[in-house]
Amino acid sequence: MSETTDQRTDETRATARPSRRALIGWGGAGLALGAVAAGGAVAMATGGESQDSGNEAGAVEFHGVHQAGIATPVQDRLHFAAFDVKTDDRAEFVQLLKDWTAAARRMTAGKTVGDGAYGGLAEAPPDDTGEALGLPPARLTLTIGFGPSLFEKFGLRERRPAALVDLPKFPGDNLDAARTGGDLCVQACADDPQVAVHAIRNLARIGFGKVAVRWSQLGFGKTSSTTPGSQTPRNLFGFKDGTRNIAGTETDRLDRHVWVGARDGGAKDAWMTGGSYLVARRIRMNIETWDRTSLQEQEDVFGRDKKEGAPVGKAKEHDEPFLKAMKPTAHVRLAHPDSNGGITILRRGYSFTDGTDGLGRLDAGLFFLAYQRDPRTGFIPLQRKLSAHDALNEYIQHVGSAVFAIPPGVRDANDWWGRTLLSEEA
């Protein structure tokens, strides 16, 4: 069964189950429903479910050792936002992270942000913007990250992890400052784009005056899979790329290549244990040029056949590639772990199309998202090689870039995003 079919089945299963409306207890004209939903107690998604698979209502568990949205099977749609911090009051910033965590906990469970103001207090500003009412949780995950510039604030300079380096300038980079960097990021993934957009919008709303959106990116279709054995979705070049991605069930590979270990970076960086590092790159594809290229050239550039996604000379996407059969500049050959001393990163990229570029061309491409244990031994050496030699460079340009430390997961209902970094206790 293809992954596409898997996902659609998930989505259907979700819609057949209690909707957001039902979860928050609305019904009929519902003027007194505050009483039903209020009280502060937050019923969590059933604890017996794996973080990765989503429960019967289509909710992915928010709590865990690691944040959801990394090893979680890749959802269909993305809304990603980078924020700049505007407050210089550390206590206010910590309170924002606590408020965000509470909102994320509710939204990923398919609930509204607020817990009852709608029902009883019609004059109060809504606690939730409302456009996701009636929609299922849609496997929403929310994943927070801290950019290098955050560590210039709040006396955090000494806490900046050694692995959170500034990315070097790579050959061919043409970065737009307006799509680069950010003190914070939130990755919202869901099978319904309205649910992902709703989540980012409500976090921005809660953060009003304390943080501001620096840039954001909508991803309309996933290009990666973290589901074992499934087919890789096609990117806007029409190819399956990233076939050998880490599956969410491969705990050994996740521990080796994605999750920060307890001893990584020494005692100073212990707060990152169970976390990861995210590199985000907005990669514009020159699709008009690509579309006038012959099939042979396209297949040579990737080192795969276009139809099946099989490596050169092989029959199926997941067949073991024979790298020497490919041109030395083939993308698959250059990016393969065997050509890079074993470098492996977890990719969760999405295709984007953001209107036109003013020159009659679609502004389309890949919003590349890669998680890794350490960018210094992950994305950076890989991209040094690719940016220097990859035949694909003729058809792409990196136009936005950011790197974030992804803290460990929120353990339970009392925990909050960033506690291991910012808590004054112990």
Scan residues 236-275 and list those touching a copy of itself (CB under 8 A).
236-239
Q: Which is nearer to a copy of itself, 48 or 355 (CB)?
A: 355
Q: Does 399 bind a copy of itself (CB under 8 A)?
A: no
Q: Which of residues 183-202 bind a copy of itself (CB under 8 A)?
A: 192-194, 197, 200-201
325 binds a copy of itself (CB under 8 A): no
> Rounded to whole angstroms, how far apart are CA atoms 110 and 133?
9
For residue 12, state whether it binds a copy of itself (rule: CB under 8 A): yes
If binding is defined by CB under 8 A, does position 360 make contact with a copy of itself?
Answer: yes
Does position 123 interact with a copy of itself (CB under 8 A)? The reply is: yes
In this complex, which beta carbon is closest to a copy of itself, that of residue 24 or of residue 421? Answer: 24
Among 22, 156, 165, 204, binds a copy of itself (CB under 8 A): 204
Amino acid in position 219 = G
Query: Shortest distance, CB of residue 360 to a copy of itself, whole angstroms?
Result: 3
Q: Is 216 in the site for a copy of itself (CB under 8 A)?
A: yes
Q: Among residues 209 and 266, whose Cβ is nearest to a copy of itself?
A: 209
Asked if 209 interacts with a copy of itself (CB under 8 A), we say: no
36 binds a copy of itself (CB under 8 A): no
In the region spanning residues 301 to 320, those forming contacts with a copy of itself, defined by CB under 8 A, are 305-308, 310, 315
> Looking at 92-100, 124-132, 318-326, 375-383, which segment touches a copy of itself (CB under 8 A)?
124-132
Stretch that binds a copy of itself, among 6-14, 103-111, 268-276, 388-396 (CB under 8 A): 6-14
Q: Is 358 in the site for a copy of itself (CB under 8 A)?
A: yes
Among 122, 177, 267, 426, binds a copy of itself (CB under 8 A): 122
Based on the shown chain and the rule CB under 8 A, indicate whether residue 2 belongs to the binding site for a copy of itself.
yes
Q: For a copy of itself, which is the closer residue by CB, 290 or 417?
A: 290
* C-beta closer to a copy of itself: residue 67 or 231: 231
Q: Is 149 in the site for a copy of itself (CB under 8 A)?
A: no
In this structure, are residues 79 and 218 in contact, taking their beta carbons and an 8 Å threshold?
Answer: yes
Interface with a copy of itself (CB under 8 A), residue from 273, 286, 293, 329: 293
